[in-house]
Structure 1
Amino acid sequence: MSSRFVAGMTIEDALRAAESIQGQGIASTLDSLGENVTTPAEAQRSADIYHRLLDAIQARGLKANVSVKLTQMGMDLDPEHSLARSIVSDLVDHAVAAGTFVRVDMEGSEYTQATIDLVRALHAKPENRGHVGIVIQAYLYRSAQDIATLTGEGIRIRLCKGAYKEPPAVAFPEKKDVDANFIRLTEQLLDTSLYHGIATHDEAMVAAAKEYVRTKNIDRHQFEFQMLYGVRRDLQRALVAEGYNVRVYVPFGAEWYPYFMRRLAERPANVLFLAKNMLRS
């Protein structure tokens, strides 16, 4: 099951997957799996993998970027998050030199503000503009204001529904409310001049974005749809055929088992979601 949704164990596996989907007209974002490291040495080893990815993206001319989690870069190891800030700053410097982009993933809500603060600080350096972005989760009540703040500073966003189990004090508990907010936030993003990612496999959300683009006469190349590796490959191909930009999130690495188990344990609905996708082409 994991091989359908995880590209493999090694950097080379991830790069082969990126080359394969690029042949189908689809871009990629590469994610070396792992979270919540316990030592600075672990954090630096995680970062070294990303430096190797950035070199390979440049050398192979891939239409790709990278996605990183701050807890994998040592965010939990000091209260000021100075280690993670230093490590990710180096990655962004490398991405600037390589002509690509670092997306800082969003984790549980206890990390939301610190993640936003770190990305804003990195993006404030003039040389980093356009080379570092963030993820915003539609199930959080705070997301509309966060988007307003971030886009006001020119920061590119990947919008997703959210995969972590959150309390009703901070997140919409009902799917219908998350869906409605996702559509509102999609429109908020599309109204900016920035290049954002709309990350969803939900055909209703895709249709809502396409309709808004049509009615507002927004260039369909002004944003991209994003999906997970191995999920709704039929929809990915259909969107490319219609002239939309599509990027696939390509996870890889030895940490694939905790990645799967954590997601399935936190959100039991993910079990059915993945099972359904095993049956799709």
Structure 2
Amino acid sequence: MTGLPWAAFAANLAVAAGAAFAVMLITFAVARVKGVHRLVDIAWGTAFTAVALTTCALSAGYGDDGRRILVTAATAVWGLRLSVHIARRGRGHGEDDPRYARMLAKAPGSRDAYALRTVYLLQGGLVWLISLPVQVAQYAAVPLGASAVAGGLLWATGCVFESVGDFQLARFKADPDHKGRVMDRGLWGWTRHPNYFGDFLVWWGLFLLACGTMQSAAVAVVSPLVMSYLLIYGSGKRLLENHLADRPGYAAYTARTSGFLPLPPRRRPHPEDHRS
């Protein structure tokens, strides 16, 4: 079999959507009790993991076993690491995310109902859409080939880039001497968003892992395109930089540091540029 088993794949799409929305709805229930809607960020990676595990179970007997296991493991490693990192980062901080504070402040009527519609259900839909390579790959019956090797290397590079960037930032912020200073060390000296760039590589890598056939590639390509748009122009880079634009020292940091793709700093930073 070289094409996708369309009937089985269509059924998988429906069940995968159920898995993604189930994670979001459970998270909404917990967040409503705690009064902290930023918990949805923790659910993002977990929802992708749920979709991958669900698809792996449903695709047994259809796709190549090596590809099924590889894609499921890659998605789970990325998703669970991200969820754990966000949970640790936000521990004990309450509802201090400016995105959700602004969103809830303009809620017409019930804040919880507004959050459910505009955050949880929207993110559940995005998880389903962006996870298309994860779903498609597990129904591709052709053995792993050159595109899978390239995809695995790209995924690994992105995962390392994202993990190292998150670790460096967390360690920097944990030092009281760094309070009021802009992080521009390590990977953050080469790109203002090493975590987003890592995500970018991860999803293009998963797309290549899905490219067992032309059919699977055609279905899956929407995912990295949507993720790239979100990371660069949507809720990722653009939104964060708008929030940080007025912070003292940030303008100097942006002047010397690449906005997305890792590049050498334009000049050596002056100590005064770190102040905020």
TM range (shorter): under 0.3
Write 1 or 2 for the structure with the bigger share of strand: 1
Write 1 or 2 for the structure with the bigger share of helix: 2
Which of the pair has more CA radius of gyration? 2
**What TM-score results when the alignment is normalised by the length of structure 2?**
0.22
